[in-house]
Amino acid sequence: MALDVPGLLVTVIFYLLVLGIGVWASRKSKKDEQQSQATQTEMSMLGNRRISLRVGIFTTTATWVGGSYIIGTSEAVYDPSYGLLWAVMPLAATVAFTVGGLFFAQPMRDRKYVTMMDPFHIRYGKALSGLLSAPLLSELIWVTSTLISLGEKRSGSPASSHILVTSFNNTLQPPWVGSVGVDRAWLWIDHFLLLSIGDLGFQDFHQRTLSASSSATAKLRCFAAAFLIPTFGIPPVLIGAVAASTDWNQTSYGSPAPFERGETVLILPLVLSYLTPYYISIIGIGAVAAAVMSSTDSALLSAASIFSSNIYKNILRNQASEKELSWVIRGTVVSVGLAAASLTSLHTCVMAFWVLGSELAYVLIFPQLLVCVLFFDQSNGYGIVGFVVSLLLKGLFGSH
């Protein structure tokens, strides 16, 4: 395939713009730190807990509407073995942020935790809270899925049937709406729960609420995100539907179709490349890249926050200075980024890593966070038994 020079140029300009904004934001945060009483680490992790409602809504929505969300939704809708009914990510996000806003945002923000692991440290102590640092692994997997989506941007005339015609009719492939048979109903329920309730076990979610300027702001941004995130899920659903309604043999892509070639995971960039004008594909690729960056930086910061605050500071070096912690944050970001990049060679499916990360959070972290730490004072260190049992069952049963 020939080098797409204009596309490459636009991508380079976009990333230079992101880098420039990052440099500007870094300098501004240093000035704000000097003018406030915030520590360097709290400024880095939580923005001095002064994130306004408007900015908070944007950052919270952008964190979830990432490359994995966009590409994964299109992939699920297009895949003949799944379809729209299995693309539960938009609806799952609504449930997650509604539940989080109702039950988790206020108690976590009122107690001024720095990370979601702080209540574990307070209730269970250093040793057990260190064992419960599974969110670090979940964040690593999150970064991996976003990096895969970053690599899935490739550069005819449309040959698509009307999506309403193909939604329930077996035209070019099985209907893109999909179906949930009796034999797979429990699997659907399991996927929905781990992609909704499991999101509450990610530091990314709590990072957004803990950085809010008040508890009320934290709750409001959750409810706003519960509406906005599924709204931004409409375009990838339509892209998946169009792909399922396309006779690919009538495009320059040719035959067989992407599903038959094992390129379902590439369906969004393929649609942009073969079914849209060139300038639209360039804009679309830039939009996907922006979505990837918004999720990746959030996951990297979340992983760095957990390691530097809950592992390095609380367990390894209690006397660590602010300057030392800032370097630990930088080192963690680099290490997690490299580790995630190496994991991308294991699997090319965005949904595989997304489901795995959510499953770890759902099985290992959420029960402890909900049942043991926040709402039941009787909980103590013996609760680690539940974590061990969950870990054992997860290891024995594996993933679907």
| pLDDT of residue 157 exceeding 60 | no
| pLDDT of residue 256 exceeding 80 | yes
Q: State both tokens at 117.
A: 């692991």
Residue 178, judged by CB atoms within 10 A of its CB (0-12, 13-18, 19+), counts as buried
Does 309 fall in a domain? yes
Q: Which range among 13-27, 108-122, 364-378 shows the weakest confidence by mean pLDDT? A: 364-378
Q: State both tokens at 224.
A: 């706003």
Domain extent, residue 58, equals 43-397
* Partners of residue 160 on adjacent β-strands: 246
Does 154 fall in a domain? yes
Whole-number Å distance between alpha carbons of 115 and 135: 10
Whole-number Å distance between alpha carbons of 321 and 37: 16
Using a pLDDT cut of 90, give the percent of the chain over it: 27
Q: Phi, psi (5° rounding) for residue 159?
A: -135, 50
We report the CATH number of the domain holding residue 258 as 1.20.1730.10
Q: Which range among 4-8, 122-126, 179-183 shows the weakest confidence by mean pLDDT? A: 4-8
Specify the DSSP class assigned to residue 201.
G
- The phi-psi region of residue 398 (left if phi > 0; otherwise alpha if psi is between -120 and 50; otherwise beta) is left
| pLDDT of residue 4 exceeding 90 | no
Using a pLDDT cut of 70, give the percent of the chain over it: 88
Does 23 fall in a domain? no
| pLDDT of residue 155 exceeding 60 | no
Which is more confidently placed, 363 or 28? 363
| pLDDT of residue 89 exceeding 90 | yes
DSSP string, 268-298: HHHHHHHSS-HHHHHHHHHHHHHHHHHHHHH
The predicted-structure confidence for 314-348, as pLDDT tens digits, reads as follows 888 888 888 899 899 999 999 999 998 888 877 66
| pLDDT of res. 188 | 93
pTM here is 0.87
Q: What is the mean pLDDT of residues 345-360?
A: 80
| pLDDT of res. 400 | 56
Residue 115, judged by CB atoms within 10 A of its CB (0-12, 13-18, 19+), counts as buried
Based on its alpha-carbon atoms, the radius of gyration of the chain, rounded to whole angstroms, reads: 22
Whole-number Å distance between alpha carbons of 377 and 264: 48
Does 70 fall in a domain? yes
Whole-number Å distance between alpha carbons of 23 and 17: 10
What SS3 class is residue 157?
coil
Query: Total structural domains in the chain?
Result: 1
Does 36 fall in a domain? no
Does 11 fall in a domain? no
Does 373 fall in a domain? yes
